[in-house]
A and B are shown apart, each in its own frame.
Chain A
Amino acid sequence: MLYETKRSLFRPLGIILKWSILLFFLLFTFVPLGWLVLSSFKTNFEFETNPFALPAVWQFGNYVKAIQISGLPRLFFNSIVVSSFSTVLNLLVTAMAAFVLSRLRFPFQNAILTTLTAGVLIPIIALMVPYFSIIRALGLYDTLWGLIVTYASINIPISVFLLHGFMRTLPRELEEAAVMDGCTLFQRFYRIVLPLSQLGIVTAGTFVFLYSWNEFLYAMLLTSSVASRTIQLGIRFFTSQFFIDYTAMYAAIVITILPSVVVYILFHDKIVRGLTSGAVKG
C-alpha cells in the first residue's frame, strides 16, 4: 500500500525528468544549428546587435554572395567527384574481396578477413607522414585521384566488415544451381551475389560517401592548389575570404551542410542498420 502511493507520487516526477532529458539533447542538437541557419539570413548588423531575433528582412542575398565569394560551385564539384569515385572504388574492391571471403572456402580465409578488418584499430591520423610520402611517390599529390585512392583505402576495413557480414547471410542454393549451369566465378559474383547484396552495398556506400564528403585532414595534407580543393578544406578558407562578412560565411557553411543532411534523410535507416549490425552481437 505504502509502496503504491510512493510510486504514484514519483511517476509524474519521472515523466518530467524523462522528457527534460530527451528535450535537452534535442535542443542541444538543433538550437546551435538553427542559430547558424537563422544568422545566415541576417544582415551583419542584426547578427551582432540582436543575435536571437528573427531577421527584419530575410537576406537571401547572403546565399548569392556566399556562392560568388567562396567559389562554392568548384568546391562542390570536386567534393562530388572525390566522394563518388572513392565510394565506387571502395565498393568495387571490397565487394570482390567480401564475395570470395564469404562465399568460398579456402585456407587462410579467416586470417585474411581478420587482417583486413583489424585495420580499424589503427588511428588514421597517426599515418599523416606515410600517406603524404606514398601519395607523392605515386605522383598523385595535389590531385583529386590522390584523395580518391586514399579515402577508398581508409574505408576498406569497415566496408569489408559490412559486406562480408551481409553476403554471409545469403542463401547458398542459387549459387549451387548457377555452378551446375556452368557459371564462372566472375558470373557468380556479378550475376548472383552482387544483385542480392544491394542492401549491404548501399549501407557500406553511404558510410564511405559521408566519410569522403566530410573528410578534412587528408584533403588538407594531400592537396595544395585551389583546383583540387574539396568543400571541407574550402570552409577553412571562408574566414579569410569573407573577412568580417559573417552572415554570408554562415550561408556558405549552411550550403555545405545540406548535402550531408539530404543523404542522411534519404539513407538514415541504412546508416542505423550499418551502425548496429556489429553492435547487437556485442
Chain B
Amino acid sequence: MGKAALHRVPWRGIILFLLPVCILYFLFFVYPLGFVFIIGCTQWNGVTAPQFIGLKNYIDLLQDPTFLLSVRNNFIWALSLGFGQIPLAALVAMILARKPRGWKFLRTMYFLPNVISQVAISMMWIAIYNAEYGALNKLLELMGYAQLARNWLGQIETALPAIILQQVLYIGYFMIIILAGAMAIPSSFYEAAEIDGASVVQQELYITLPLLRGILVTSMTLAMAYGLRHFEATFLMTAGGPANSTSVMGIQLFNNMSFLRYGRANAIGSALIVLGVLVIVVLRNTLGRSESISEVQQ
C-alpha cells in the first residue's frame, strides 16, 4: 500500500514543485530565445513598433567589415582557448595526477583566479600592460630590453594577443576537470606499463591521453564555445579598440544595442547562439561523443 502511494503520480504536487522554476526558465531562457530570433528580423529602436524586414539585418552584417572582423576575432579566441589553453591545462593535469609534492595545494592555487571577478582581473592587467607605469614595461626596462616597451593594449599589433594571452594562461578551470579524469584512471595500468619498461612520457602518451580522450574533447568543445561567447575581458580592457582590432561579436551586439539598433543587435545575438551550438555539435560529432557538457555556463 505504501509502495503504491510512492509510485502513484501526484500531479498536483509535481506541478506546484515545477512551476516556479518553469516560470523563471520561460522568462529568462525560452522567451528571450524567441525574442532574439524574431526581433533579429526586424528594424526596431525599442520605442516605436518593430518593422519586419526579413533577413536584411543578416545581409547587412555579412557586408559589415567590423562585424566580420569581430567574427574572425571570436574564432581566434576559440582556437587559442581550444588549442592553447586545453593542451597546457592537460599537461599540468597530467603532472599533478602523479601526485607530486604539494599537488593539492597547487590544484587549489591554480584555480584561485577563476573565482576572482573578471573586472578586477582586467583592471589588474590594464595596470600591467599600461604604457607609462605598467609592470610589463618596467620589467622589460629592468632587464635591459627597454626598446621592447610599448603601449600593449593601445597598439593594433599587440592588443589582441595581449588580452588573449593572459586569459589562455589561466588554466585552472580546465586543469581541474582534466585532472579529475586523469586521477580516475586505475593506477594498475601504470604499474603494468612500468614493469614493461615504459617511460613516464610513454605512459602518458599511450595510457593517459587515449583514456582522457572524452574529457579532452569535452574541454576543447567548451573552451571553443567560451571563445565564441567571449565578451567581458575585451569590453573592460579595450572595449574593442584600437580601431576595432580586438572587437568580438559580443562587443558589436553591445554597441548596436547602445545605439538603439535593437534589430541588428538581436541578429548578432542569434548568430552567436547558432554559431555556439554549431561548434558544440560539430566538434562532438567529429572528435567523438562525450557525455557531459554540464560545465558550459555564461
- Contact code string A33-57 (vs B, CB < 8 Å = 1, else 0): 1011001000000011001100000
Instruction: List residues of A (83-128) whose CB comes within 8 Å of B's CBs.
Output: 92-94, 96-97, 99-101, 104-107, 112, 115-117, 119-128
Contact of B112 among A29, A51, A256 (CB under 8 A): A29
Q: How far is the CA of A18 from the CA of B103 in the complex (A)?
A: 12
Given A32-B125, A35-B128, A52-B138, is A123 in contact with B119 using a C-beta cutoff of 8 Å? no
> Please, which residues of chain A bring their CB within 8 A of the CB of B277?
121
Given A100-B14, A216-B117, A253-B123, is A156 in contact with B25 using a C-beta cutoff of 8 Å? yes
Contact of A271 among B1, B111, B296 (CB under 8 A): B111
Contact of A263 among B88, B115, B201 (CB under 8 A): B115
CB distance from A78 to the nearest CB of B (A): 14
Contact of B128 among A22, A32, A246 (CB under 8 A): A32
> Please, which residues of chain B bring their CB within 8 A of the CB of A281?
291-292
User: Do the beta carbons of A125 and B229 come within 8 Å of each other?
Assistant: yes
User: Do the beta carbons of A106 and B176 come within 8 Å of each other?
Assistant: no
Closest-by-CB residue of B relative to A215 is B117
Given A122-B273, A128-B254, is A261 in contact with B171 using a C-beta cutoff of 8 Å? no
User: Do the beta carbons of B276 and A175 come within 8 Å of each other?
Assistant: no
Cβ of B266 under 8 Å from chain A:
yes
Q: Which of A62-70, A145-153, A195-203 contacts B (4 or more CB under 8 A)?
A: A145-153
Given A21-B95, A32-B128, A272-B111, is A129 in contact with B265 using a C-beta cutoff of 8 Å? yes
> Please, which residues of chain A bring their CB within 8 A of the CB of B5?
179-180
User: Do the beta carbons of B2 and A179 come within 8 Å of each other?
Assistant: yes
Cβ of B215 under 8 Å from chain A:
yes
Contact of B108 among A35, A134, A257, A268 (CB under 8 A): A268
Cβ of A166 under 8 Å from chain B:
no
User: Do the beta carbons of A253 and B180 come within 8 Å of each other?
Assistant: no
Closest-by-CB residue of A relative to B215 is A282
Instruction: List residues of B (91-122) whose CB comes within 8 Å of A's CBs.
Output: 91-92, 95-96, 100, 106-113, 115-120
Q: How far is the CA of A271 from the CA of B107 in the complex (A)?
A: 12
Q: How far is the CA of A125 from the CA of B181 in the complex (A)?
A: 30
Cβ of B82 under 8 Å from chain A:
no
Instruction: List residues of A (122-178) whose CB comes within 8 Å of B's CBs.
Output: 122-134, 149-150, 152-158, 160-161, 175-176
User: Do the beta carbons of B25 and A119 come within 8 Å of each other?
Assistant: yes
Closest-by-CB residue of B relative to A156 is B25
Closest-by-CB residue of B relative to A96 is B17
User: Do the beta carbons of B13 and A176 come within 8 Å of each other?
Assistant: no
Contact of A275 among B36, B176, B225 (CB under 8 A): B176
Cβ of A25 under 8 Å from chain B:
yes
Q: How far is the CA of A205 from the CA of B139 in the complex (A)?
A: 41
User: Do the beta carbons of B128 and A126 come within 8 Å of each other?
Assistant: no
Chain A interface size, under 10 / 10 to 19 / 20 to 34 / 35 or more = 35 or more
Q: How far is the CA of A258 from the CA of B136 in the complex (A)?
A: 25
Cβ of B270 under 8 Å from chain A:
yes
- Interface contacts (Cβ under 8 Å), in number, total 289
- Contact code string B239-283 (vs A, CB < 8 Å = 1, else 0): 000000000001001100100001001101110110011001000
Cβ of A73 under 8 Å from chain B:
no
User: Do the beta carbons of A152 and B24 come within 8 Å of each other?
Assistant: yes
User: Do the beta carbons of A128 and B24 come within 8 Å of each other?
Assistant: no
Contact of A156 among B21, B31, B272 (CB under 8 A): B21
Contact of B123 among A116, A119, A132, A238 (CB under 8 A): A238
Cβ of A77 under 8 Å from chain B:
no
Cβ of A3 under 8 Å from chain B:
yes
21 A-B Cβ contacts within 8 A?
Answer: A14-B200, A22-B96, A22-B106, A25-B88, A33-B124, A36-B127, A112-B18, A117-B294, A122-B33, A125-B298, A129-B265, A130-B32, A133-B35, A153-B25, A154-B28, A156-B29, A161-B294, A185-B17, A246-B133, A253-B120, A282-B218
Q: Which residues of A contact B (CB under 8 A)?
A: 3, 7, 10, 14, 18-19, 21-22, 25-26, 28-30, 32-33, 35-36, 39, 47-48, 51-52, 92-94, 96-97, 99-101, 104-107, 112, 115-117, 119-134, 149-150, 152-158, 160-161, 175-176, 179-180, 184-186, 189, 210-211, 213-214, 216-217, 232, 235-236, 238, 246, 249-250, 253, 256-257, 260-261, 263-264, 268, 271-272, 275-282
Q: Which residues of B contact A (CB under 8 A)?
A: 1-3, 5-7, 9-11, 13-14, 17-18, 20-22, 24-25, 27-29, 31-33, 35-36, 39, 46, 88, 91-92, 95-96, 100, 106-113, 115-120, 123-125, 127-128, 132-133, 135, 138-139, 142, 169-173, 176-178, 180-181, 184, 197, 199-201, 214-215, 218, 225, 228-229, 231-232, 235-236, 250, 253-254, 257, 262, 265-266, 268-270, 272-273, 276-277, 280, 290-298
